[in-house]
A = this chain, B = another copy of it.
């Protein structure tokens, strides 16, 4: 969790592990959460659903195949995938080492 209100480059927080996706929290309030998911090439995030929480992904670097509902797209830096509450979503496969900003409201696991 950041100590103050600024992160100079969120991509600098990226960590990759050979075994699995890594997640790093950036900021969190009772309403809003943002963090990064880092996936080495070939890694994935299982398709899942959040009841009562809206979420989106913004690809910061790399390239990943992202699923929302019945659609899946290969997305690169600058792409957004929006997953409203109740709609299944996930990262099917990172096609390159990828850093993906995740934003969610309300936050996973409740507020601060």
Contact = CB atoms under 8 A, between A and B. Distances in A.
Chain A contact residues, majority secondary structure: strand
Nearest to A11: B78
Contact of A60 (B66, B78, B83): B78
A7 B103 contact: no
Interface residues of A, number: 44
Interface in A1-30: 2, 4-12, 26-27, 29
Nearest to A71: B5
Interface of A: 2, 4-12, 26-27, 29, 31-32, 34, 53-56, 58, 60, 66, 68-69, 71, 73, 75-85, 87, 101, 103-106
